[in-house]
Structure 1
């Protein structure tokens, strides 16, 4: 059950501005986003000393195209355009007048058609990898800035303490979602000689029920979504996350069943499965933990995993195993 994924961003009433918009524009509090930038400045030295901060837009609804999106900060008497980079990221200048007017950041798109994230990047991180300290800082900034978009009525009951950056970003149940650039098959943590793959429950937004997807920032990015162990300080900030993508050639490994039917015949029904809009499907098989094996640092039992990835035609594309 997701406890804190669907966190509510504060919304402010705004006047009409010269941005073409629909009946319900996406808006963010300018003050809160600046507070997120201030949080970045306070935490940067500890978590990501050389990093830079940008904000980024991501699609949330099926068929949502980000090309043509325009952003503007609008107050009572003044406004300011925000140029978007080709990757749909932007920086947020500070304007004292807009701060005093409690301005809003508006887009010419409908509410819930996009999701917003902070993006913290340190130099020197190899291509295709992420640094854990950067992700920790992204979470703090994103929560401080009120970027996570959800249904206001459904999640209005959430206590403010449960939505605090420190609670969300330092708790195993915090469940702050990150998004890779491509569909993920596995993620490996590495620091020095220590390596560990993330469990299946850390991928694909924890395998949510289909009925809950409309309330998730991951609605159209489910294959690309993951949780990072922000709370686990046994992994230092310089830990790197490396990604194996669904569309990469599989590494040399042991034989796997050729298709879904063969997998079911060999192993029985999966303990969990998830079918994506792309037609790809993942199956998870658990193996029992060794007797006396202590739970993991998140309190979950340590169980082995066998994960299979199938293409839209049912053929097996990849297989991987994770030890308890």
Structure 2
């Protein structure tokens, strides 16, 4: 009986509220213009692969402070697929705070920039694409123009690592061969290690990578390619946990902290034929 009485009371209360709302609507029809309907929509993606707007702005600040590493380059952020089924060509992205939101334009090469907005900073906004977590990954894109074909500049890549770590772009999941474990994980200082395990992605599947500075030339060993897969006896188990899952044949590590290689060192790529 108590449950029935409570249910009856709640029903009566709801009826009363509805009646009051209807009465208010009728009065509005008589006394003034009808207000336009308001539609409230929820984001369909309940598991977003979002990033912190504040951290990404901190990454932009670091780029400005350390621009001398890549003086002729500009900074863009880049989206990369993490799952084979991820559609990278129809991504919409927004910066969303508690009271502010604005769209982010993504270029055809999946790169973008974000504007500085004090209100978004104050509200600790998030940068949210319409993709689920672990469906794609993020990196920085810092390229000096005018380089020879199939090359990158080491100073650009050093700065990519530092900005990427400061911006919080590296995935937190367990990864191949325990990548990126240990201290200084979230700081640019990690990139100062002689051989940090920071994954870079080439434009095409790799056959080899070489460092060239003047007359000095050195080909990277196989354990510096393919996300160190040659050192991983459990590759099939670990691969789904790496943010390189579908791009493992494009990944490579560099001796970023080895200052015997100057910033103007060229990183030369030899790509697989008939990829």
Normalised to the residue count of structure 1, the TM-score between the two structures is 0.67
SS in 2 for 1:161: coil
Of residues 60-69 and 73-82 in structure 1, the stretch that sits farther from structure 2 once superposed is 60-69
Give yes or no for the alignment of 1:26 onto 2:49. Answer: yes
Could you tell me how far apart the structure 1 residues matched to 2:209 and 2:195 are? 19
Could you tell me how far apart the structure 2 residues matched to 1:201 and 1:127 are? 25
Could you tell me how far apart the structure 2 residues matched to 1:201 and 1:19 are? 46
* Mapping for residues 52-91 of structure 1, pairs under 5 Å: 52-91=74-113
- Whether the 8 Å contact between 2:150 and 2:270 is mirrored in structure 1 is no
**Unaligned residue ranges in structure 2 (runs of 5+):** 1-39
SS in 2 for 1:214: helix
Indicate which of 189, 206, 218 corresponds to 1:196: 218
**Which string of whole-angstrom CA distances, capped at 9 and with x for unpartnered residues, describes residues 76-97 of structure 1?**
0010100000001001110000
**Which string of whole-angstrom CA distances, capped at 9 and with x for unpartnered residues, describes residues 1-57 of structure 1?**
xxxxxxxxxxxxxxxx97854220110000000000001001112x11111000000
Deviation at 1:124, TM superposition (A): 2.1
**Paired position in structure 1 for 2:249:** 223
Could you tell me how far apart the structure 1 residues matched to 2:165 and 2:153 are? 19
Give yes or no for the alignment of 1:102 onto 2:115. Answer: no
Indicate which of 259, 264, 275 corresponds to 1:233: 259
* Mapping for residues 43-58 of structure 1, pairs under 5 Å: 43-45=66-68, 47-58=69-80
Name the count of aligned residue pairs.
Answer: 228
Give yes or no for the alignment of 1:126 onto 2:152. Answer: no
- Whether the 8 Å contact between 2:195 and 2:258 is mirrored in structure 1 is no
Could you tell me how far apart the structure 1 residues matched to 2:240 and 2:153 are? 30
Could you tell me how far apart the structure 2 residues matched to 1:135 and 1:19 are? 39
Normalised to the residue count of structure 2, the TM-score between the two structures is 0.78
Bigger strand share: 1
Deviation at 1:174, TM superposition (A): 2.2
Bigger helix share: 2
1:212–1:96 Cα change, 3 Å: same
Structure having the higher Rg: 2
Q: CA RMSD in A?
A: 2.1
Moved over 6 A (4+): none
**Unaligned residue ranges in structure 1 (runs of 5+):** 1-16, 249-277, 279-324
Could you tell me how far apart the structure 2 residues matched to 1:18 and 1:86 are? 28
Deviation at 1:159, TM superposition (A): 6.0
- Whether the 8 Å contact between 2:152 and 2:268 is mirrored in structure 1 is yes
Give yes or no for the alignment of 1:174 onto 2:200. Answer: no
**Paired position in structure 2 for 1:37:** 60
- Whether the 8 Å contact between 2:195 and 2:255 is mirrored in structure 1 is no
**Paired position in structure 1 for 2:239:** 213
Could you tell me how far apart the structure 2 residues matched to 1:37 and 1:83 are? 17
| Highest RCO, 1 vs 2 (Cα 8 Å, sep ≥ 6) | 2
Could you tell me how far apart the structure 2 residues matched to 1:190 and 1:160 are? 31
Could you tell me how far apart the structure 2 residues matched to 1:224 and 1:19 are? 37
**Which string of whole-angstrom CA distances, capped at 9 and with x for unpartnered residues, describes residues 123-142 of structure 1?**
22122210000000000000
Indicate which of 183, 208, 218 corresponds to 1:186: 208
1:94–1:18 Cα change, 3 Å: farther
